[in-house]
Amino acid sequence: MLNLANELLKEINVLTYVGIGSGRTISSFIDALSSLKVNKKIKFIPSSLQILLKLQENGFEIDSFPTLKQIELYIDSVDQLELTTHHMIKGGGGALLKEKILMYNAKRTLIILQENKLTKKLGTNYPIPVEISPLSKPFVSDFLMTIGGYPSIRRDSREFPVYTENGNIILDVKFDKIDDALVLEQKIKLQPGVIEVGLFTRKPTCIYVIKDNSFERLT
């Protein structure tokens, strides 16, 4: 990860506003970045409380959603990335709403992922997270089943429902197959009670795949 952080440092250091995703890969990237000479003028916009605290612990400047001006670059990881389309599944950590807001409003998007996150077919052995209002659970669950989904509420180790930072719950939805991720994303998003869908169909600008102690750029 340090090699990749060093590779990207020159690009990052000329920016002012950089959005940051969530998860273990991004946490490791922040640790690596903190060991390098990062421009102190850069303001990072975190997608979750976890990453906000991580950035603060490493001495980075933070900006927030209400005050940000323009996101020049968004850096994130994924749960799955389809090789042919570069469509993605995200939301395993529960921060999909803020992650999508940042990604879709950034000028450029840079994705960092482990090699085992690549897939030939999106949704293979991995559910789509759907953030919903708790009130809408029975209605959204019924709807998802009518379009071929198998929804289950996300629970913690005590079997309590997991709540997002926005006060919502998450349904993890399995599909036998996903023919068109964009169509499915739009169909689910239109259902009343759905806050956000963990299908990310906006293609990233750059993709870096971590392989042991090295990395490979796909795009």
User: Residues with catalytic annotation?
Assistant: 99
Report the distance separating Cα 191 and Cα 10, nearest Å. 43
C-alpha separations of 161 from 12, 27, 84, 130, 172 in Å = 38, 25, 35, 14, 12
Strand partners, 113: 209
The three-point CA angle 206-211-216 to 5° equals: 35
The two beta strands, 194-197 and 128-132, are: antiparallel
